[in-house]
Amino acid sequence: MLGRLNHVAIAVPDLGAASAVYRTTLGAKVTDPQALPEHGVTVVFIDVGNTKIELLEPLGENSSIAGFLQKNPAGGMHHVCYEVADIIAARDQLKASGMRILGEGEPKTGAHGKPVLFLHPKDFQGTLVELEQI
């Protein structure tokens, strides 16, 4: 089921400040901010060759990452995203093995314009897992 590691996501309280740290101290090329209101976040990506770093900050009132940032006010590792060839087949296989699919269980369109799903962190060793269909 698993393909490449598409990205590692870091939730931050201030996307501009976090982007500046990556740009000035690590020489990173940071994409322009991309507002994703349907996901309640604004994101940027940093391509590191073999994968990407996604920096994300809350957007709007009930952002799905607000709770995480309350617990981690300075920010922190938020999720990993794995690529899958067939997200519906992956979803159905995971559901059959008792894993919890977050949201209504139907893929939404992610930052890369591809279908994505999220798996409950409690089912994956305390790590929020995103699947993105390539």
Ligand X SMILES: CC[C@H](C(=O)O)C(=O)SCCNC(=O)CCNC(=O)[C@H](O)C(C)(C)COP(=O)(O)OP(=O)(O)OC[C@H]1O[C@@H](n2cnc3c(N)ncnc32)[C@H](O)[C@@H]1OP(=O)(O)O
Report residue 74 as tokens.
């300075």
Strand extents, DSSP E, the chain? 5-11, 34-36, 41-47, 52-58, 76-84, 108-109, 115-119, 128-133
DSSP character for 99?
A: P
Active site residue 130: yes
The site for ligand X, by CB under 6 A, has a size of 25
Q: Is 26 helix (H, G, I), strand (E, B) or coil?
A: helix
Q: Is 28 in the site for ligand X (CB under 6 A)?
A: no
Nearest distance, CB of residue 81 and Co ion, angstroms:
5
Beta carbon nearer to ligand X, 29 or 120 = 120
Binding partner selected for residue 84 from Co ion, ligand X, none, CB under the kind-specific 5 to 8 Å limit: none
Under the criterion CB under 6 A, does residue 111 sit at the interface with ligand X? Answer: yes
- Comparing CB distances to ligand X, the nearer of 93 and 109 is 109
**What tokens appear for 58 in the block?**
């809350």
If one asks whether residue 91 binds ligand X (CB under 6 A), the answer comes out as no
Report how far apart the first and last C-alpha atoms of the chain are (Å, whole number). Answer: 12
Binding site for ligand X (CB under 6 A): 9, 36, 39, 41, 43, 54, 56, 64-65, 67-68, 71, 78-79, 81, 102, 110-111, 116, 118, 121, 126-128, 130
